[in-house]
Every structure is written in structure tokens, then in C-alpha cells.
Amino acid sequence: MGGINLIDELEDNKNKQENLINSQVSNAKILLAENEANKIAVLKALGLDSEIKVYEEAKGRSIDRKTIEKEFGRDVFHIDEIEKLCIKYDLRFLHTSKYNGSITSDLARKIVDFAKKHELRIGVNGDTWGGDKDKFFILAPRENFRKEIKPIQDKDPILFFSTGKLLYKVVYSWGYSLRATRLLKGWRKRNARNRFLYVWSLISLLYVSILGFIGAPLWMAFSIGGALAALTSLLFLPWGDGIELDHAYFSEYGWNESPITLI
């Protein structure tokens, strides 16, 4: 199976979002294009302006992106597009200080060149303030942000710079592409329901195999095996501090928070 190119996926997310918005707000576009202020005012007064709000927000985002692309070039993505990728593949999007993976020998040069080109202050070349150094973030698998003693081998990490307006410019990417099997890992770590179903399916197969081996009828093996697996699967959920633990472990909630590891 081929690898997963995260930047290509980000581009796909951006295009899909723009196409979806365009298809959903056709009526709003007609109203705004015709400048029918009275009709718009009536809809807003009655709270029936959701399509108009979506369109105006999308239009504003598009203008912001084009403005930033004029300064920083292509590969500028909205935080919503990055979030979707994090949830899909169990990634984290955190400040560079949280990253614990390996880096390449030319990473520092790439950062300095980017800073010089866009006149950023990162605490080098005579700049003692470094006010822009907190605007750098890394998108990478969750395991590259764990506090390990030895850095984990890099898996397609991407360095971003926050340009404001919830938009981020790709500065540099390195490492190797994620494996296609990452999609399954992302699914099972998305939320508690997915984790339960994943564990339940594996344990069910084990129980059914054991019951079938000892001669139980097939219907009994599936019924008893499924029930026992459901009870056993509960032991593998991250019990503890509720919401805080969900945010730290499941990517659907904690895609921009430091990860933890379940035992």
C-alpha cells in the first residue's frame, strides 16, 4: 500500500470544504449578489440566515487566505482543515517545544531562511526579542510528542507558521510518509466508542474461537462470546478523570493537546 502524503490530504480537505460551502449557500449568494437588503434583514430578524452566515464566513476566510498567500505563497491552511487531518490519522498539532521526534540537519537553515524572507523575529541574527518564535507549530503523529528519553523516528512531520486569522503556512516537511494502515489507528483512537468497538471485535474473535474449539454451537459461541467480549472491552477504556482524560487520549477531543499513553 502506498504512503499518505499529509500536505496532499490538506489540499483535499481545503478543496472539499470550499466545494461543500459553495453547494450549500447558493441561495445566500443570490440574495447577496442582488443586494436585497430587505429580504436579508427579514431572514436575520427571524433567525433564518444560517446559510447567509456560512457564506459570509466562508467568503471572509477565502479573502483572508488569498491575502496571506500573497505574502507567504501557497500551502496556507485553515485550522479546521488541520483538525480534520489530526482526527483522521491520530495526529497532534502542537507548539514546536512539545515535539520530541527527530529532525533533519537542514531544518535550522529552512527556519532561518523563512524568517529572513518574511522578516520574522525568532531570536537569531541580532534579534534578541524573538517574538515570533511562539508562532511555530508541528503536525505529526501523537507518538512524536510523548516525553520519551530517546526521540522517536520521524513520520512525516510538518512545520507550520501561524500567520493569524486561524491560518497556517507550511514551512517545511521531512521524514517519510505515513503508512496507509494509519487510517485504522486513527479510527480506533478517535473516540471512546471506536476504541470499544475495536477492542470488542478482537476479543469477540478470541472468545468465539475458544468456544467453538470446545464444541459449543455456533449461535452460542457468538452470543456468549460477544457478551463476554463486551464486558472485557470495558476494561480497556481510559477510565479516570473523564473529560480531561478524553481530551488527552482521544484525537477527536485532544488533537491539539499533549497526548498520554494507555497501559
pLDDT digits (tens, 9 = 90+) for 228-243: 877 777 777 665 555 4
Which pLDDT value is given to residue 211? 82
Domain with 214 in it: 189-254
- Asked if 131 and 201 sit in the same domain, the reply is no
Residue 259, domain member (yes or no):
no
124 & 225 share domain: no
Q: Is residue 184 assigned to a domain?
A: no
In the chain, what percentage of residues exceed pLDDT 90?
A: 21
Q: What is the pLDDT of residues 158-192, one digit of tens each?
A: 999 999 989 999 999 987 778 888 888 889 888 88
Identify the pLDDT of residue 88. 93
Residue 113: inside a domain, yes or no? yes
Assess whether 9 and 113 both reside in one domain.
yes
179, 212, 235 - which closes a domain:
179
Q: Is the domain of 80 the same as that of 48?
A: yes
Instruction: Indicate whether 118 belongs to any domain.
Output: yes
| 127 and 194 inside one domain | no
**Same domain flag for 108 and 202:** no
On average, the pLDDT of the chain sits at 79
* 225 and 168 part of one domain: no
Residue 97 sits in the same domain as residue 172: yes
Confidence of residue 1 (pLDDT cuts 50, 70, 90): very low
Q: Is residue 19 one of the residues assigned to a domain?
A: yes
What is the predicted pLDDT for the residue at 263?
Answer: 38
Same domain, 53 and 74: yes
Mean pLDDT of the region 203-220:
83
Q: In this structure, are 45 and 107 located in the same domain?
A: yes
Domain membership of residue 262 (yes or no) is: no
Question: Among 144, 179, 214, where does a domain finish?
Answer: 179
What is the pTM for the complete model shown?
0.78
Read off the pLDDT band of 155 (50, 70, 90): low
Domain limit, last residue, from 179, 213, 242: 179
Q: What is the pLDDT of residue 248?
A: 65
Residue 263 lies in a domain: no
Same domain for 198 and 94:
no
Domain count, the chain: 2
Question: Are residue 156 and residue 231 in the same domain, yes or no?
Answer: no
Residue 239, classified by CB atoms within 10 Å of its CB into exposed (0-12), middle (13-18) or buried (19+), is exposed
Q: Are 92 and 86 in contact (CB under 8 A)?
A: yes
Q: What is the pLDDT at residue 260?
A: 59
140 with 155: CB under 8 angstroms?
yes
